[in-house]
Amino acid sequence: MKTLEYLSDPTLRAMFLPGIVAGLITVVMCAVVSPLVVVKRLGFIGQGISHSAFGGVGLAAVLVAVGWMAAGGVAELLVIAVFSVGAALGMGWVGRRRETPEDTAIGLFLVGSMALGTVLVQAARAVAERGGRAADVRSWESILFGSVSTAGTGDVVVAGAVAGAVVLALWAGRRPLLFWATDEQTARAFGVPVGLVRGGLMVVLGLVVVTSMKVAGVVLASALLVLPGATALRLSSRLWSVVGWSLVVGAAGVLAGFVVAFEADWPVGPSIVLVQVVLFAGACGAGWVRAIGGRGASAATVRA
Amino acid sequence: MSQATAGATQQSGQPARVPAAVELEGVGFCYPGNATAALEGVSLRVAKGERLGILGPNGGGKSTLLKLILGLERPDRGTVRVFGESPEVARQRGWVGYVPQRPQVELGMPLSVREVVRLGAGWRCAPWRGIPAGVAERAERALELCGATGFADRPIGSLSGGQFQRAMMARALSVEPRILALDEPMVGIDPAGQAVFGELLREIHARLGLTLLIVSHDLRAIVAGADRVACLSQRLHSHTGPAGLTPEVLAEVFSHDLVGLAGQMGPLHVHAHAASACGHVHGSGAGPAGGQAAGEVVLTVTAEKKGGGGGGGSGEGRGG
């Protein structure tokens, strides 16, 4: 068991523990908002926001390369967060008109930001090299797939602060949010400020996705936003039980994901996502077994 | 018939003593980017306690009219008043209870009927408190009134069409509105359920004395619960003068539904004001008492004898 080996060794434990804690905090935050993302079909927006973050990564890289900003600090995360939240609000704003449907608006920001990010990261490298500085730009792999195993105490603090704010905001706004999610037009007719609710949720999604990027990268961040909720909704149709299952799936994904990553020497982010995919498949299987069992039981009742 | 008479009194020009439940004056509305107006020159008065059906084909502007009354859209021209106030004020005060169509609602939400009904008034409650007892009590009363207590703990996505309408109506009633606005209430309900739901509407109207607005493309839904009918269709509103509303137009808009209905209920009289875009439907023998006002048209539809191949309609126009 490499996992036990890693965790019993003080040096290795100090190296991996922040990543595990940051991962758990991140995934808990994702799991709370995940059922809402699934029910409201916001998965593609999550995808759009996480890919838009790539534009923010490029912008931050340029700022680092010209020496205006330190690499890997809170300022860098802030630049990415502002860029992503701006993109999230932009998607909502552009997509509200009939001529540009929402999925088109999301696609537009997604590819636009990816393209911009690519160009900016290349430019940052060139600027850094010309300036004689080492190209202090993160590797493509860590941007695309995450680098949670290298997380430090600072990452834990950032993840904790964002998660605290996000969970508090969701809890405080849960009633208008649930009303809006059930039926937007009726919510408006009942006086719910749906613009505020929608905008607030976009900001929350932007923050969640940016924080998740450390764990799962641009490509996989939206998976953390979709999989726990999708699994939980297969298992229950009661609100608090759905949120509970979502948390269980999220946490189990992180813990099992780390174990798999340690044992098989796989990258952590993709391992977490794969475990969550397996849990989703398990929930589907459980549903089918229950359905078949139910049919069998009712047939038995009829026979009796 | 008292409500219908009240409406007629207003039309004959006597001043109103109380503000109308809903009053539209020359309302025009066009969705941004659309070439044709959704509504044009609509004037309509709904007295307190009246049951108005808003009838018209799909895309005829019925839902737009409802949105204007709910304050979800603002008219480009004209005014909309709800109990003498703007629709936005009425919305903030919870005067209009809205019952949406089923496709509008996210049926995958993991919420029970009771939770959905409680959100109707409960969404305003402070987040650090539970739902106050008063709100919960009103929700329970509304559930009971709508006959929804039996399935109040079931997930909102697991209901039949009729149960769903009851749940939505309970949510609307939980805010104790003055007006109940139903959007296509009979869609997705089987014929037997429609009759039961129509009876429930009549009962709730009698018990609470609410003003009812029923929007539908299906005349059966309208007749189940309305004293008066506003006939809305693009065709109707593409004509601005009384001359535009000919029996032929009405026959075209209504004949399909009316012919079938006349077969069930006996002859029906439909008459409408071209200027105000509203009309009346009376059952057999309940025709207008005092002759029609200027600009009115009467369309009489009678069922043909059995085996007559689907019945027929005949129009009788009275120009002003």
pLDDT tens digits for B264-303? 554 444 444 433 333 444 433 333 333 333 333 444 444 3
CATH number, residue B181: 3.40.50.300
Q: Is residue B7 part of a domain?
A: yes
Q: Is residue A124 part of a domain?
A: yes
Say which of B96, B119, B157 has its CB closest to residue A189: B96
**In a domain? residue A285:** no
pLDDT for A107? 93
Q: Do A181 and B116 touch (CB under 8 A)?
A: no
Average pLDDT of A52-77?
84
Judge whether A284 lies within some domain.
no
CA closest to A238 among chain B residues? B110
CB distance from B111 to chain A under 8 Å?
A: yes
Which of B105, B107, B109 has the highest number of chain A CBs within 10 A, making it the mutation to test binding with A?
B109
Report if residue A245 sits inside a domain. no
CB pair distance less than 8 Å for A182 and B91 = no
Domains in chain B: how many in total? 1
Q: What is the pLDDT of residue A21?
A: 92
Task: Check pLDDT > 70 for residue A126.
Answer: yes
Whether A186 sits inside 8 A of B106 (CB atoms) is: no
Q: Quick check: is A134 in a domain?
A: yes
Residue with tokens 């018939």: B1
Which of B108, B123, B155 comes nearest A192 by C-beta? Answer: B123
State whether A181 and B108 contact (CB < 8 Å).
no
The answer to the question of residue B140 being in a domain is: no
pLDDT band per the 50, 70, 90 thresholds, residue A300: low
Is residue B50 situated within a structural domain? Answer: yes
Q: Which of B98, B108, B156 sits opposite A189 (nearest CB)?
A: B98
Quick one: DSSP state of residue A147?
-
Residues of B in contact with A179 (CB under 8 A): 119-120, 123
Optimal mutation site among A33, A183, A231, interface B, most CBs of chain B within 10 A? A183
Residue A159 counted as domain residue? yes
Residue A251 clears pLDDT 60, i.e. is over it: yes
Q: In this structure, is residue B293 part of a structural domain? A: yes
> For residue A247, is it within any domain?
no
- pLDDT tens string A255-296: 999 999 999 999 888 899 999 999 999 999 998 998 888 776
Give residue B301's domain range: 2-11+20-95+177-316
- Residue A293 resides in a domain: no
In a domain, B225, yes or no: yes
Question: Are B104 and A185 a contacting pair at CB < 8 A?
Answer: yes
Residue A73: strand, helix, or coil: coil
Evaluate whether ipTM surpasses 0.90. no
Query: Who among A39, A191, A238 is closest to B106 (CB)?
Result: A39
- B128 inside domain: no
Residue B137 lies in a domain: no
Locus of tokens 């909102």: B156
Residue B279 lies in a domain: yes
To test the contact with chain A by mutation, choose from B69, B73, B89, B106 the residue with the greatest count of A C-beta atoms within 10 A, namely B106
- Residue A161 is part of a domain; what is its CATH number? 1.10.3470.10
Per-residue pLDDT of chain B (320 residues; tens, 9 = 90+): 344 444 444 444 455 456 889 998 888 898 887 888 888 888 888 889 988 888 777 777 888 899 999 999 999 999 999 999 999 999 989 999 999 988 899 999 999 999 999 999 999 998 998 899 999 999 999 999 999 999 999 999 999 999 999 999 999 999 999 999 999 888 888 888 888 888 899 999 999 999 999 988 776 666 666 777 777 775 443 222 233 334 554 555 555 455 555 555 544 444 444 333 334 444 333 333 333 333 334 444 443 333 333 333 333 333 32
Domain extent for A183 = 17-218
What is residue A105's predicted lDDT score, i.e. its pLDDT? 92
Residues from A in contact with B at Cβ < 8 Å: 35, 38-40, 97-99, 171-176, 178-179, 181-192, 233, 236-239, 241-242
Residue of A nearest to B172 (CA): A190
Determine, for residues B105 and A186 on separate chains, whether the beta-carbon distance falls below 8 Å.
Answer: yes
Structural domains in chain A (count)? 1
